[in-house]
Amino acid sequence: MQINTKAVHAGDRKKPGPAVPTTTPIYGATTYAYEKMDDLDRIFGREVAGYSYSRYDNPTNSALEELITALEGGSGSLACASGMSALHVALLAALADRRKSVLAANALYGATVSLLMNVLEPMGVVVRFVDVCDLDAVRTAVAADRPGVILMETVSNPLLRVGSIADIAEVAKGAGAALVVDSTFATPLLVRPLELGANLVAHSLTKYLAGHGDVLGGVVVSDEQHLEGVRSLSRIIGPVLGPFESYMTMRGIKTFPLRMERQCQNACRVASWLAGHPGVERVYFLADPEHPDAATIRRQFPQGLYGAMVSFELKGARRDDIFRFMDRLKLIVRGTSLGDVNSMMLYPTMASHREISPKQRERMGIRESLVWLSVGIEGVEDIIGDLEQALG
C-alpha cells in the first residue's frame, strides 16, 4: 500500500459498536470501567488488550500511533506531548540495558544538544560528538568509546547535512549500540530510517505531519526490540499526547504527503532563485549537486523530493541586518518553528540554537548571517516575490 493511501486510511474506522465512525473520535475519558472486575484486572495487567487509564492507552492516541507506525514501517509507536519528549523517551529506552554513553552527531537541533548536555550528562551519561557524515570518524569513535547509543538527524539542523543511516546502522549493530534518528525534517515520505536499520525514530508532530501550526506533539516509532521499553516508560513517566492533539494530528496527516510534495517542489524553486541573488552568499539545500553529501542524498532520498528546508547566508550580514531583512517580509511568517503550510523564516542564533554558545555555534558553522526558511505550499512566485522585495 502506498504511503498516500496509508496516510488517509491507517488507524481509522475501528468498530466501537454497530456503527463505524469514518474518522476516529476524540476520547476524552481518563478512566475506563468494565462490568466485571476480572476484565479490568486483566486489562490493567496487560494480559489482554483494552483501555484502563489514559496514561497507559487511549483510543484516539492508539489510532494515531497505528497510523504513524504504518507510515514509518515500525513495530509500534508512542505519541508524546512534544518532539523533545519523544526524543527523550527514545534515548531512555535505548540506554536502558546498554552502556550509558551517547555518540551524537556534531550538528543537531539546539534543544537536543541541551538535552544531552544539561539533562543526560549530569545523570551520568557520557556524551561525545562526531561528524556522522564522515563514516571513518564514526567507526573510530565507536571503537574508542563503545557507546550504547548513536544519535543523529536524517537532515541536520540547520545546515542540512546528511549522514548515511544504513552505514551508521551497520556500525551501531556491530558495536551492540542502538541507532536513534530524529527524522522530523525528512518525514516518512522521504526517508524511513527503520527500513535502513535504525532502532528508534523520533518526530516532532508539530512540524510537517500535523502541518498546520495548531498541534504541539511528538512521536517515537520503535522496532520490536525496544517497543516494550518505550511503552513501559510511557506508563511510568506519562509523557503522553492529549486525545484532542492526537485527533488534530491524524486530521493533518491525511493531507501530509500532498503538502510535502508541494513544499519540496516549492523549495527547489526557491533555493535555485536564492542561489542567483547577488545579496545571498551561500545556499544550503539537498538538491544542490555540489552538496558535500550529494552521494548519500542520491541513495537515501527519492528523486525530486529533497525536503522543504532552505538555509542561506546573506552577504556580510550581522544580527541587525538579519532583523531588518526579516522585518521587511510581508508574506513569509517570522517565527520559531517550521513545517507549517505557510512559509516561515527562523533565525537560528536567536531561536533554534540560542542556548548554544557563540563559539560552539561557530564551530558548527552557524553564523550570524544564516537564516532558515521553511517553504510552504503557497504559490512559489509569491514566496520568491516576498524574498525579492525583502532583500532589496
Q: Which domains does the chain have, with CATH numbers?
A: 74-253 (3.40.640.10), 256-391 (3.90.1150.10)
Burial zone of 93 (CB within 10 Å; 0-12 exposed, 13-18 middle, 19+ buried): buried
pLDDT, one tens digit per residue, over 224-274 is 999 999 999 999 999 999 999 999 999 999 999 999 999 999 999 999 999
Between CA 293 and CA 88 the distance in angstroms is 28
Q: CA 198 to CA 192: how far, in whole Å?
A: 9
- Strands lying side by side in the sheet with 333-334: 280-284, 309-314, 370-374, 344-346, 333-334
pLDDT at 365 over 80: no
Nearest to 373 by CA among 219, 239, 242, 266: 266
- Residue 351's pLDDT is what? 66
Kindly state the average pLDDT of the residues 6-32.
Answer: 88
In the numeric block, which cell numbers belong to residue 237? Answer: 513517566
Q: For the whole model, what pTM was predicted?
A: 0.95
DSSP string, 171-211: HHHHHTPEEEEE-TTTHHHH--GGGGT-SEEEEETTTTTT-
With a pLDDT cut of 90, the percent of the chain lying above it is 89
Counted residue by residue, the chain has a size of 392
User: Distance between terminal CA atoms of the chain?
Assistant: 48
Alpha carbon of residue 381 to chain centroid = 28
Instruction: Report pLDDT digits (tens) over 42-78.
Output: 998 889 989 999 999 999 999 999 999 999 999 999 9
The rounded distance, in Å, linking the Cα atoms of 349 and 69 is 34
Name the burial class of residue 210, with classes exposed (0-12), middle (13-18) and buried (19+) by CB atoms within 10 angstroms of its CB: buried
Q: List 149's β-bridge partners, or say none.
A: 102, 178
Strand partners, 79: 219
pLDDT of residue 358: 74
- Determine the average pLDDT of the residues in 102-129: 96
Q: How confident is the model at residue 287 (pLDDT cuts 50, 70, 90)?
A: very high
Give the catalytic positions in this structure.
55, 109, 182, 207
User: Which pLDDT does position 13 carry in this prediction?
Assistant: 87
- Give residue 388's identity as a one-letter amino acid code: E
- What is the pLDDT at residue 361? 74
